[in-house]
């Protein structure tokens, strides 16, 4: 069981070091506790700000009033499709 836990921790650490979310890599690879806490606060703050903006955007989108009105009008004259085929033999 302990080898699975070590493997899982290594997997998480490897993912955090190589992810494109650079703040997570700074949290894991920092050698000083103060820098690690600073980057953790930055990453968590960014995640909270993103969530707030996402919720705000979705509520504004759903609150936007939209009405669709459809009217059907008939034409007094008929439209016909005309297909002209010109065969050019040289």
pLDDT tens digits, residue range 2-61? 666 678 778 777 877 777 777 888 788 888 889 889 988 998 999 999 999 999 999 999
Distant-in-sequence, close-in-space partners of 19: CB < 8 Å, separation ≥ 6: 25
Euclidean distance between CA atoms 81 and 83, whole angstroms: 7
Find the radius of gyration of the CA atoms of the chain.
31
- Any domain includes 78: no
- Any domain includes 9: yes
- Any domain includes 89: no
- Total domains, the chain: 1
Range of the domain at 54: 2-63
Q: Is the pTM of this model over 0.95?
A: no
- Any domain includes 18: yes
- Any domain includes 22: yes
- Any domain includes 52: yes
């Amino acid at each position: 069981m302990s080898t699975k836990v070590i493997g899982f921790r290594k997997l998480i650490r490897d993912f955090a070091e190589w992810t494109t979310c650079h703040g997570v890599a700074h949290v894991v690879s920092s050698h000083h506790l103060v820098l690690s806490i600073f980057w953790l606060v930055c990453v968590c703050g960014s995640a909270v700000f993103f969530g707030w903006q996402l919720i705000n955007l979705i509520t504004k989108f759903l609150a936007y009033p939209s009405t669709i009105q459809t009217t059907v009008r008939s034409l007094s004259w008929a439209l016909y499709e005309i297909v002209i085929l010109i065969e050019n033999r040289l």
